[in-house]
Amino acid sequence: MSMRVKICGITRREDALAALNLGADALGFNFYDRSPRYIDLQKARELIDHLPPFGLRVGVFVDPTFEGVMEITKALRLDTIQLHGQEPPEFAGDLRNEGLRVWKAIRVSGAQSLKDCGDYPCDALVLDAFDPRQRGGTGKPFDWSILEDWTPPAPWILSGGLNPETVADAIIRLSPSGVDVASGVETRPGIKDADLMRLFIQRARQELVPA
């Protein structure tokens, strides 16, 4: 099966369409208002309403309220919720009871970060780099050697510092279920570059992607 690819931090319709046309499996929309890739509900609705009906629609949240997540989810017909904060397991369980797919982001600072996520109720883990000032999208990788003796408790997605130059080596070395990129395919936060997205997807899958 080919490698799954998520393009995160989508803020423009043309970027979303380009990513899907290039073969991205999932698009991420960031609803954390302190992120440089933040998109509000109205803009996200205008963007998503014009997308073709394929590809996962992933809402990225940081310590939201349950009601807030459900309002956005229903308005945009999201199918996947990525939790990037300190949400307790019960919060994720409630979302899954609503029929939603839940991905839990783990900001990896050491081996203990991975031990703490073993029992979390989710459909996949997203491993990202730890940064005390920013929740994802830092453009920095974490120490991959931490994963050498790790047995994943769930499917997992590699994030943090990936770009077209590093993604193939990361996949060969770590064998994740998927890869997640934001800053590595941008000209500036929230503005994607179609050529970089093409290269990233091509190298993630080791196959040619149509122009």
pLDDT tens-digit readout, 122-153: 999 999 987 656 555 566 788 999 998 899 99
What pLDDT, on the 0 to 100 scale, is given for residue 208? 45
Does 180 participate in catalysis according to the annotation?
no
Among 8, 25, 122, 180, the active-site one is 8
For the chain, domain boundaries: 4-205
**Which pLDDT belongs to residue 129?**
86
Render each residue's pLDDT in the chain as its tens digit; 211 residues: 579 999 999 999 999 999 999 999 999 999 999 999 999 999 999 999 989 989 999 999 999 999 999 999 999 999 999 999 999 999 999 999 999 999 999 999 888 888 878 889 999 999 998 765 655 556 678 899 999 889 999 999 999 989 999 999 999 999 999 999 999 999 999 999 999 999 999 999 985 445 4
DSSP 142: -
Q: Is 25 a catalytic residue?
A: no
Q: Which of 15, 25, 128, 180 is catalytic?
A: 128
Tens digit of each residue's pLDDT (9 = 90 or more) over 106-127: 999 888 888 878 889 999 999 9
Q: How many CA atoms lie within 13 A of 36 on its CB side?
A: 14
Q: Which CATH number fits domain 4-205: 1.10.1420.10, 3.20.20.70, 3.10.129.10, 3.20.20.80?
A: 3.20.20.70
pLDDT score for 1: 58
Encoded tokens for 62: 């940081």
Q: What is the pLDDT of residue 132?
A: 54
Query: pTM above 0.85?
Result: yes
Backbone angles phi, psi at 5, to 5 degrees: -130, 130
Q: Which residues contact 120 (CB under 8 A, 6 or more apart)?
A: 89, 92, 104
> Rounded to an integer, what is the distance from CA 86 to the centroid of its chain?
17
The pLDDT value recorded for residue 113 is 85
